[in-house]
Amino acid sequence: MILGPHVDFIVAAYAVTVFVVVALMAWVILDYLAQRRILGDLEERGVTRHSGRAGKVER
């Protein structure tokens, strides 16, 4: 695969896209882990929701 005289622009476009997509994925994964951890802490302290009293919180 030869990218010709404009290789810098092509590589920069792919680099920016990969960076943004990886940042989005990291945000979603880290946010999920954070929310699960906080929910776990609250449950351990015996805090429940109105609708969650009958059973454990679905995660």
Partner 1 sequence: MAVIDLANPTRFLAVVNRVLPWLMAATILAFAFGLARVMYAPDDYQQGATVKIMFLHVPAAWLGMMGWGVMTVAALGTLVWRHPLADVAGKAAAPIGAAFTFICLVTGSLWGRPMWGTYWVWDARLTSVLVLFLLYLGVLALYWTAEDPGRGSRAAAILALVGAVNIPIIKFSVEWWNTLHQPASIIRSGGSAIDPSILMPLLIMAGAFTLLFFTLHLAAMRNEILRRRVRSMRLMQASRA
Restricting to residues 15-44, which ones interact with partner 1 according to CB under 8 A?
16-17, 20-21, 23-25, 27-29, 31-32, 35-36, 38-39, 42
* Secondary structure string (H, E, C) spanning 20-46: HHHHHHHHHHHHHHHHHHHHHHHHHCC
Contacts of 39 (CB under 8 A, 6+ apart): 57, 59
Least Å distance, CB 34 to partner 1, is 9
Residues that bind partner 1 (CB under 8 A): 1-7, 9-10, 12-14, 16-17, 20-21, 23-25, 27-29, 31-32, 35-36, 38-39, 42, 45, 47-52, 57-59
